[in-house]
Chains A and B, each alone.
Chain A
Amino acid sequence: MSNGTWNVTRRALIATAAGGIALCSAGMAFAQDYPTKPVTLVVGFPPGGSTDIVGRIIADNMSRTLGQPVIVENRPGASGTVGIAHVANSAPDGYTLGVSGLGASILVSAMGRDTGYDMDSQLDVIGVMGTLGLVIAARKDLEQNTLDELFAYAKEHPGEVSFGTSGVGTPGHLGMEYLLTLADAEMLHIPYQGSTPQMNDALGGHVDLVLLPTPEGAEQVRGGGLKALAVTSPERDTLLPDVPTVSESGFEGYTAVLWNLLVTADGTPADVQAKLSEALNAAMESEEVRKIYAERGLAPTLTTPEEATAFLASEREKWASVITDLGISE
Chain B
Amino acid sequence: MLENILVGAATAFTFQNLIYCFFGVFVGTFIGVLPGLGSLAAISMLLPISFYLDPTTALIMLAGIYYGGEYGGSIASILLNIPGTPSAAITCLDGSPMARQGRAGVALFITAIASFVGGSVGVVALMGFGPAIARIGLSFGPGDYFALMLLGLVAAVTVGGGSVVKGLLMVVLGLLLGTVGTDVTSGEFRYTFGYLELRDGVSLVALAMGIFGIAEVISSIKDAGQRKIREKVTMRSMLPTRADMARTVGPMARGSSIGGFLGALPGAGTVIAAFLAYATEFRLARDKSRFGNGAVEGVAAPEAANNAAAQTAFIPTLTIGIPGSPTMSIMLGALMIHGITPGPLLVSEHPTIFWGLIVSFWIGNLFLLVLNIPLIGIWVRVLQFPYKYVYPVVIALICIGVFSMRNSVFDVGLAVIFGTFGYLMQQVGYSAAPLILGFVLGPMLEENLRRAMLLARGDATRLISDPLTGSILAMSLLLLVWAVFGGLLNLMRTRARAKLPPGEA
Contact = CB atoms under 8 A, between A and B. Distances in A.
B104 to A, nearest CB: 35
B406 A60 contact: no
A148 interface: no
B334 A48 contact: yes
- The binding surface of chain A is classed by DSSP as mixed
Interface string B328-342: 011111101111111
Q: Counting chain A CB atoms within 10 Å of each CB, which of B184, B323, B447 scores highest?
A: B184
B44 A47 contact: yes
B197 A215 contact: no
B490 interface: no
A53 interface: yes
Interface in A70-101: 72-79, 81-82, 85
A282 interface: no
B187 A219 contact: no
Contacts of B48: 56, 72
Given A53-B333, A53-B336, A77-B200, A203 B341 contact: no
Contacts of A56: 47-48, 51, 337
A16 B266 CA distance: 57
Contact of A77 (B142, B196, B320, B326): B196
A173 B333 CA distance: 24
A204 B329 contact: no
A218 B345 CA distance: 11
A46 B407 contact: no
A197 B337 contact: no
Contacts of A75: 406-408
A296 B330 CA distance: 16
A252 interface: no
B200 A207 contact: no
Contact of A196 (B189, B322, B337, B447): B322
B63 to A, nearest CB: 13
B406 A219 contact: no
A79 B340 CA distance: 25
Contact of B320 (A115, A206, A225, A296): A225
Nearest to B443: A193
Contacts of B406: 46, 74-77, 82
Contacts of A162: 454-455
Contacts of B51: 56, 60
A224 to B, nearest CB: 7
Contacts of B334: 48
Interface in A277-296: 291-292, 295-296
Contact of B343 (A49, A192, A216, A292): A216
Given A167-B187, A191-B187, A47 B47 contact: yes
A81 B196 contact: yes
A65 B48 CA distance: 18
Nearest to A159: B457
A199 interface: yes
A321 to B, nearest CB: 19
Contact of A78 (B185, B200, B337, B338): B200
B336 A197 contact: no
A174 to B, nearest CB: 11
Contacts of B337: 53, 56-57, 292
A220 to B, nearest CB: 6
B196 A85 contact: yes
**Which 3 residue pairs are nearest across A and B when measured between Cβ atoms?**
A219-B343, A48-B333, A168-B187
Interface of A: 46-50, 52-53, 56-57, 60, 72-79, 81-82, 85, 113-116, 159, 162, 167-169, 188, 190-193, 196-197, 199-201, 203-204, 206-207, 215-216, 218-220, 222-225, 291-292, 295-296
Given A167-B184, A219-B341, A225-B320, 19 more contacts: A48-B332, A72-B48, A74-B406, A75-B408, A76-B406, A77-B197, A79-B199, A81-B196, A85-B196, A114-B194, A169-B187, A190-B455, A192-B451, A206-B142, A219-B343, A223-B343, A224-B344, A292-B338, A295-B339
